[in-house]
Structure 1
Amino acid sequence: MENPIDALVKLIKGKHKADILMFLNPQPRRFSEVRRHLGRVSERILTKQLRELEAEGLVRREVFPEVPPRVEYSLTAHGYTLCPVLKQMWYWGRQHNRQKMEAPVAV
């Protein structure tokens, strides 16, 4: 059985996955909104990341029967359970980065 921490890291590893998950909390977003939020990300990369998150059961893709078609991405119930974990990881990473900046340089 895979180490649970390794499984989590593998799940969110990849360009922008953690950012995507956090941006979809608390509301569904359209592809263009997610892309705009992330800044410089290609359509191909974003599509790949969203599909991987969908395959893992974290993100839901909903197509609305309109012309032109409207597609929204939202978190699944399982995806929502990951948000508090990601938030804590973000706080930890910020604190870690600050400590690294303040640490004396070894010569």
Structure 2
Amino acid sequence: MKDAIKMMESKMSPESVRRAHIKAEQDIMAIRLAQIREEQNIKQSDMAYFTQSSVSKIEKRKDIKLSTLIDYLDSLGMGLKIITYPKGTISEKSEKVLLSV
């Protein structure tokens, strides 16, 4: 599978590859939100501060406001940590916590 992806990427411009990776990460985040909720054994209709339809919309969105994400995770009893790091480095020493709620 990696070879197929590399082959496709080789035929795309670097900007197209970058946009495709961003879109993939957004899709993955939407899936992960639902997985986190399901792991907590919480139904969409049981989310505090949200209606079932709003939870469904949040879990399908590819772009979400940070404040909505914080409220969503808070309803699940989860926190959020955003870490910044210089691209292309592996060193954790370069990481900075931007937000922890």
TM tier, shorter chain? under 0.3
TM-score normalized by structure 2? 0.24
Higher strand share: 1
